[in-house]
Amino acid sequence: MLHTAPAAATDTIVVGARPLTPAEVVAVARRGARVELAADARARVAASRALIERLADDPEPHYGISTGFGALATTFIAPERRRQLQASLIRSHAAGTGAEVEREVVRALMLLRLQTLVTGHTGVRPVVVDTYAAMLDAGITPIVREYGSLGCSGDLAPLSHVALAALGEGRVRTADGTEADAGDALSAVGIAPLVLEEKEGLALINGTDGMLGMLLLALDDLGALLDTADVAAALSVESQLGTDAVFAADLMALRPQVGQAASAARLRGLLAGSEIMASHRDPAVCTRVQDAYSLRCSPQVHGAARDTVDHATHVASRELASAVDNPVVTSDGRVESNGNFHGAPVAYVLDFLAIAVADVASLSERRTDRALDRTRSNGLPPFLADEVGVDSGLMIAQYAAAGIVSELKRLAVPASVDSIPSSAMQEDHVSMGWAAARKLRRGIDGLARVLAIEIVTGCRALDLRAPLEPAPATGAVRDLVRRAGVAGPGPDRFVSPDLETVTELVLSGEIAGAVARAAASVTDTTEGGRA
């Protein structure tokens, strides 16, 4: 996933004053920003807790307060057994298996659960919200496993692993990444383990926080990656002697898709001032009527992906404003069962984004392939090799891109259309949103690598067009790649390190940053001349 700089020590996110923004979640999850509870948060929490305690004394059963859970909802639990009930719920539901989930995902999940807890709609005690906030600030990250959530009744297993750690049980990672016993880790930073009371177990595990956290992280990644996709496309269009006329604003206006117009405008800016582009504008020089789809339709595909990101952002923003629990404490003091924990809204957009990711990567791979085929590259050597026949150039780099794209197509198969009944048919339709989120994360990593391969290819092709100079923006990307140690045209070399280096430049945002700096330099020069 995209790498970001550590947050400054003064970065603090206030939880409970209003819904968190996507940027705030990312700051805590990725950059270690601290959290602080809003001034009135504990009062809200205490008020809803008072209602739960009154219902706990009621001889009439109330789900999750004085009864069992799920298919055992009709089983009355005596007061003296309820602490055991809550602890048993967490221990039994912490049933994750498989690989360890990434730290940033777990931190996002914890923060989002904390946000719901402080709404005053879950009925937990103030000490519960204090404990979650303290764990985040101390950098204690419970170990959560890959499999265990069906995306309905909340991300049950992942959230249960977090709750188990708050009880002082299970395993965690400390701030420096060391694996430790949860009880020991809490003790080392002065946090007392929780002893859960009525309703609190359910409140800690009934939420879409895992899938929502991964959606927010994916949106953060895709904002930069789609900008980078435009850069990669510009490198290909320029180095393959394509035309930028098809990106004209009046042509885009004939089909007023917002994302398409944005990508086309970026492509026009990226290609502005290119000697290479200027060299074949004369119809007497270039007799091709139109470019292949992979060059000509880049703004249409990239733009559709941008629009998909915008739609997913709207869904995520609504979910951030939600209080997901079951049962829930309403504003007028009722405790009601509901189905708001169902992950369908989030699961659908996670799957939608996976489709967009696969298609943007597919287009990128096709542009790379054109650059390496002498019959379609407009004068470039086969595979951009130095000594054709002896050298293979970037032939197998394209194989790598093709293999990734094939995998991304498989990952684009929706998870949310599947459902496996659970809990003795009580939970007979589930969203599979967690699975959708996990495959989207793999897809985003694959997209970054495919774009890196196109950028390596495009930069070498630009060099082969010398002495013609590229546009300032694409030239800045080529220069960044060269400064990073990726050599230009020449005899075959060990390709894998070059691909990893440029992948890191993509993931770090440096590719997009190089373009921004080049644009700023051109603006400064222009404004200076006018002055």
**Which stretches within 394-509 are classed as H helix?**
395-411, 433-464, 472-483, 495-508
DSSP state of 6: P
Confidence band for 398, pLDDT divided at 50, 70 and 90:
very high
Domain contains 301: yes
Average pLDDT over residues 367-376: 97
Residue 413: what pLDDT? 96
Residue 209: what pLDDT? 96
Residue 436: what pLDDT? 96
Round to the nearest angstrom and report the end-to-end CA distance of the chain: 43
What are 47-56's pLDDT values in tens digits?
999 999 888 8
| Distance in angstroms (rounded) separating the CA atoms of residues 231 and 272 | 12
Is the pLDDT confidence value at 163 over 70?
yes
Q: Are residues 201 and 311 in the same domain?
A: no
Where among 176, 207, 238 does a domain terminate? Answer: 207
Q: Are residues 113 and 223 in the same domain?
A: no
Domain contains 350: no
Residue 187 in tokens: 């003790």
Confidence band for 527, pLDDT divided at 50, 70 and 90:
very low
CB environment 319-337: b (16+ within 10 A), e (fewer): bbebbbbbbbbeeeeebee
| Distance in angstroms (rounded) separating the CA atoms of residues 166 and 138 | 12
Average pLDDT over residues 448-477: 98
Confidence band for 530, pLDDT divided at 50, 70 and 90:
very low
What are 205-232's pLDDT values in tens digits?
988 999 999 999 999 999 999 999 999 9
Residue 260: what pLDDT? 98
The closest alpha carbon to 226, from 447, 449, 516, 460, belongs to 447
Tell me what the pLDDT averaged over the chain comes to.
Answer: 91
Residue 525: what pLDDT? 46
Where among 183, 207, 231 does a domain terminate? Answer: 207
Task: Give residue for tokens 């602890």.
Answer: 87
What is the SS3 string spanning 235-276?
A: HHHHHCCCCCHHHCHHHHHCCCCHHHHHHHHHHHHHHCCCHH
Is the pLDDT confidence value at 87 over 70?
yes
Q: Which residues are the active-site residues? A: 63
Residue 295 in tokens: 């060059």
Q: Are residues 230 and 173 in the same domain?
A: no
Could you count the other beta carbons within 10 Å of the beta carbon of residue 379? 9
Element housing 163 (H / E): helix 156-166
Residue 181: what pLDDT? 98
Range of the structural domain that residue 519 is part of: 216-325+358-530
What are 479-524's pLDDT values in tens digits?
999 999 999 999 999 999 999 999 999 999 999 999 988 887 765 5
Is the pLDDT confidence value at 58 over 60?
yes
0.85 exceeded by pTM: yes
Residue 288 in tokens: 């091709």
What are 418-452's pLDDT values in tens digits?
877 776 666 767 888 999 999 999 999 999 999 99
Please tell me the number of Cα atoms within 13 Å of 146 on its side-chain side: 7
Confidence band for 182, pLDDT divided at 50, 70 and 90:
very high
Residue 521: what pLDDT? 72
Domain contains 43: yes
Checking DSSP bridges between strand 171-173 and strand 141-142, what pairing results, if any?
antiparallel
Residue 431: what pLDDT? 83
Where among 152, 181, 207 does a domain terminate? Answer: 207
Contacts of 491-500 with CB under 8 Å at 24 or more apart are 491/386, 491/387, 491/391, 492/385, 492/386, 492/391, 492/392, 492/393, 495/394, 495/396, 495/397, 498/456, 499/397, 499/400, 499/449, 499/452, 499/453, 499/456
Residue 327: what pLDDT? 85
* CATH number of the domain enclosing 227: 1.20.200.10
Domain contains 502: yes
What are 30-39's pLDDT values in tens digits?
999 999 999 9
Domain contains 338: no
Q: Are residues 195 and 52 in the same domain?
A: yes
Q: Are residues 406 and 263 in the same domain?
A: yes
Q: 3-class DSSP state for residue 197?
A: coil
Residue 180 bridge partners (DSSP): 172
| Distance in angstroms (rounded) separating the CA atoms of residues 372 and 405 | 17
What are 89-140's pLDDT values in tens digits?
999 999 999 999 999 999 999 999 999 999 999 999 999 999 999 999 999 9
Residue 412: what pLDDT? 97
Q: Bigger pLDDT: 195 or 523?
A: 195
Q: Are residues 73 and 166 in the same domain?
A: yes
Question: Going edge to edge, which strands form the sheet with 171-173?
Answer: 141-142, 171-173, 179-181
**Roughly what angle, to the nearest 10 degrees, separates helices 472-483 and 209-239?**
110
Domain contains 352: no
Q: How many residues are there in the chain? A: 531
Q: Are residues 61 and 87 in the same domain?
A: yes
Domain contains 163: yes
Helices and strands counted in the chain (H then E): 20, 9
Is the pLDDT confidence value at 2 over 70?
no
Residue 531: what pLDDT? 29
Residue 7: what pLDDT? 43
* CATH number of the domain enclosing 25: 1.10.275.10
Q: Are residues 284 and 399 in the same domain?
A: yes
Residue 490: phi and psi, rounded to 5, are: 165, -175
Domain contains 337: no
Q: Are residues 231 and 202 in the same domain?
A: no
Number of domain units in the chain: 2
Given CA atoms 269, 274, 276, 278 in this order, what sign does their dihedral have? positive
| % pLDDT > 70, the chain | 93
Q: Are residues 301 and 391 in the same domain?
A: yes
What are 279-305's pLDDT values in tens digits?
988 776 666 668 999 999 999 999 999
Q: Are residues 39 and 162 in the same domain?
A: yes
What are 234-262's pLDDT values in tens digits?
999 999 999 999 999 999 999 999 999 99
| % pLDDT > 90, the chain | 77
Q: Are residues 187 and 242 in the same domain?
A: no
151 with 433: CB under 8 angstroms? yes
